[in-house]
Structure 1
Amino acid sequence: MVIPLLQCLYNPEQPFPAAGWDYEAILRDIELFSIGSQMYHLLKASGRIEQVPEFFGSRLKARHARATYHNLFMKHKEQEMLALFERHGLEAIPLKGIRFAEAYFGHFAARVTSDIDLFVRADRLDEAIACLESHGYDYEITKDHHARLHKDGLMAELHWTLDKREWSNLHTEPFWSSAVPLGDFRYVKQLSPLHTFYFICLHGARHQMDSVRYLIDIVQILHAKGGSIDYKQLVEQTTVDKTSRRIQAVLSIVYRQFPHLQAIKPLPFDTLETHWDYEMVRSARMGAKTKQYYLYKLFFRHFIFDTWKHQMKSIRKAY
């Protein structure tokens, strides 16, 4: 039930509200995917919060209020960490989180942030870890493509690349070379819209697009900064990085659920059959797994790779 509501919020040509909507069922799905803050923000931003039942708007408002309090704390902690890296002359780029919400949703509390993810230079990872340790963070583990530390329940992840090393030939330098300083910082930077979009798509693929959250993030970027995203450049970079099939899979899912995107940002390739379906993903989250679910899992585990080498690696270690 959430997808039709989102389609109306993102496409003003669709009638709103649609007749026959079960708002209690929509709320249950919103809770299931933990997207209450996003939905409230989108309803407010579109000027349609007054067009939904009062109980529906009130419940979303309450969730947004909790998200605001939580994200205020996260914003403060992220700012502390960024200032720390700046003082030590360590380049860092915030990924997802507060900065992403501010830049692409227009409000720091538009999506809940659970931890702090920073992109750091690979050759300065040890320095970045030591920097956080010197300020009370406890080192936990270095795994796949990030190091994890924590302090008083707050998790920080330092990424030196944006994909697991076994699954692609991803080059990080283009992400750094197109990044620009964030605000008044010199060493703290922000990704370009193109590379933010690329990263968010990779992030969704890594989680097999198993939540509506990943679809919302991608659609929101296209609506907020689509004019700054060059699909030709994206295709060229993903071809070099050997990640193109993953990006195609993710965008195939998004564009099938939000067909209006073809009119504002046409895909430069045909969509793939991923076996992704909203009801299937929803049912799986509640514990009911169908034959289609296993086809979808099989696709994302073994058939989203650009080369035989990476596909064979997925047999030994699932993506």
Structure 2
Amino acid sequence: MSSEAVVSAKSLQVTRQLAGLVLQREREAGEGSRPNSACGVSSQLEASCRSIPAEDLLAAIRRHRLETLLAADPLVLQLIPLLADRLKVLARKEQMEALALASLTREMAALFERAGIPMLVIKGVPLALQTTGLLAARGRGDCDLFVDPADLGEATTLLKSVGFVLCETNGARGIGSDGIYGHYSRFVSIEISLKRVVGGKWQWIDLHWHVTHARDVLPGFQILWKRLDELSINGQTIFTLNHTDALLHSCCHAAMDRWMSIRSLIDIERLTRGFSEIELHRLQRQRLVRKSFAVLEDCNLLADSVKFSKYPAFRVSDRHVINDARKTQLMACRTDESLLNFGLRHLRLSYSPINWLVKLLLMLAPPDVLFHPSTGSPLSLPQVAVRRIRKLSQQVMIWGNASQRFHR
């Protein structure tokens, strides 16, 4: 990850405070209190909003994809009047893209229903409905479809029949094969991406056969399917993860990204509102839930009733997570990362032996190295070994040169 921050620490702090204020007012409204009073605004927040350059604050808001959240609250717009009109425009654009995503989600649900292929839609519009009751409240996002691994080939063929093509990444060339490379790719990977053009615009689908990178935190497709939630988009039934599984999945997703997005943390906070304190206490026995709650509390996004301090004892590892989240929230959303760092980070997501095996295999031989980069034809095992040795040797040389420059 680049060490260069794209938002200032001050703008991040104010963005966190504004997001926390909106969530507090949402909770008050849910409890029957009047959300339009300014009693929850501290003089310090008012002063910070006045002192910070508007462009710096807008950069932080857009980096964390909070346009729709903040533009919907009149009190927030009063606190940042120089940005009010621009936020409203940006929020409308986000909402239009979210509505387009809802249309695509509805189309995919109908397509799989007609084909008789069980499919869950994860994140995206279903998560917006679960957390806010509104299709466009989260803004834009991806269309993530989750199927049983046994149905992957049929699901891919179905998507191709309506114009989608595979993106040639992550071993997509051999993902549907019944050979050893196909089985290997499906074991170590969790998804493939497909795309098509409609009306001059790209539409993207991420087709999953594992629900998250953190193996064994959530069960497989068949168990998740049996306890699904049923939603509706304009009369079309949409199947998604149930509330508990959605919370666990959101924590896994946030952990995978090192808690770098405030919007993903807001998803977690909103999901917690459907649970009692006892249920939340039980859920925090999961490592990634506990760590996510630690970051949420550090961001002042949690309600007092579910503060992390009321639950299991604070741990040194959680302090490390908080410090890491503070750094990543200042950086760009998409940054370059070496395969080694990626693998080591993912090793910490789950202590399951399967998870460790998968991540080690991904570091040593990711699926895309099994195929010729130009022709797409499968390579022999010796050819794969030669390619990986060369690549790893290059990385070792890069790390060695970087280390020498550091010690000079």
What TM-score, normalized to structure 2?
A: 0.63
Are 1:179 and 2:228 matched, yes or no?
Answer: yes
Which shows bigger deviation, 99-108 or 88-97? 99-108
Q: Partner amino acid for 1:195?
A: D
CA distance in 2, matches of 1:118, 1:298: 24
- Tell me the SS of whatever aligns to 2:351: coil
CA contact (8 A) 1:150 1:156 kept: yes
Structure 1 equivalent of residue 125 of structure 2: 98
Q: Which moved more, 1:12-21 or 1:149-158?
A: 12-21
CA distance in structure 2 between the aligned counterparts of 1:148 and 1:79, rounded to whole angstroms = 18
8 Å CA contact retained: 2:126, 2:231: no
For 2:321 and 2:77, the matched residues in 1 are separated by: 36
Partner of 2:295: 253
Partner of 2:210: 161
Superposed CA offset, 1:218-272 (max 9, x none): 122224x344993366367xxxxxxx32332222211232274351476642342
Letter of the structure 2 residue corresponding to residue 181 of structure 1 = E
Query: Measured at CA, do residues 299 and 255 of structure 1 come closer, stay the same or move farther in structure 2, by a change above 3 Å?
Result: farther
Paired position in structure 1 for 2:327:
280
Superposed CA offset, 1:143-194 (max 9, x none) = 61113211112110121221237x54642244222113333667x4122111
The 2-side partners of 1:286 and 1:218 are apart by: 18
Contact 1:3-1:257 at 8 Å conserved across structures: yes
Q: Distance in 2 between matches of 1:74 and 1:229?
A: 36
Q: Would the alpha carbon gap of residues 125 and 234 (structure 1) be closer, same or farther in structure 2, given more than 3 Å must change?
A: farther
| Equivalent AA in structure 2 for residue 249 of structure 1 | K
The aligned counterpart of 2:313 is: 270
CA distance in 2, matches of 1:154, 1:128: 17
1:65 deviates by 0.9
**Match status 1:73 vs 2:116:** no
Tell me by how many angstroms 1:212 deviates. 1.7
On the 8 A contact 1:179/1:191 being kept in 2, the answer is: yes
User: Is 2:23 aligned against 1:10?
Assistant: yes
Contact 1:246 1:304 in 2 (8 A): yes
CA distance in 2, matches of 1:33, 1:274: 21
Aligned residue pairs, count: 297
Q: Which has the larger radius of gyration?
A: 2
* SS of structure 2 residue aligned to 1:57: helix
For the 8 Å contact 1:71–1:108, the answer to whether it is kept is yes
Cα deviation for residue 2 of structure 1 reads 0.9
The equivalences for 1:1-319 within 5 A come to: 1-12=14-25, 14-15=40-41, 18-22=45-49, 24=54, 25-41=56-72, 43=73, 48-49=75-76, 51-140=78-167, 141=172, 142=175, 144-152=189-197, 153-164=202-213, 167-168=215-216, 170-172=218-220, 173-183=222-232, 188-223=238-273, 225-227=274-276, 230-231=279-280, 234=283, 244-258=286-300, 260-264=302-306, 268-271=311-314, 272-277=318-323, 279-285=326-332, 300-307=345-352, 310=355
User: Secondary structure of the residue that 1:151 maps to in structure 2?
Assistant: strand
Identity, % of aligned pairs? Answer: 19
Q: 1:112 to 1:164 in 2, by over 3 A?
A: same
Letter in 1 for 2:322: W
Match of 1:241 in 2: none
Whole-Å separation in 1 of the counterparts to 2:362 and 2:241: 30
Letter aligned with residue 107 of structure 1 = L
Asked if structure 2 preserves the Cα contact closer than 8 Å seen for 1:120 and 1:159, the reply is yes
Shift of 1:303: 4.1
What amino acid is the match of 1:40?
Answer: A
User: Contact (CA 8 Å) 2:46, 2:79: kept in 1 or not?
Assistant: no
| TM, length-normalised to structure 1 | 0.78
SS of structure 2 residue aligned to 1:182: strand
| Unmatched runs of 5 consecutive residues or more in structure 1 | 237-243, 289-295
CA distance, structure 2, for counterparts of residue 100 and residue 53 of structure 1? 28
Deviation at 1:58, TM superposition (A): 1.3
227-236 or 136-145, which deviates more:
227-236
Q: What is the Cα deviation at residue 101 of structure 1?
A: 1.4
Pair 301,15 (structure 1): closer, same or farther in 2 beyond 3 Å? same
Residue 38 to residue 306, structure 1, CA distance change in 2 (3 Å):
same
Q: Find the aligned partners of 2:270 and 2:218 in 1 and give their Cα distance.
A: 25
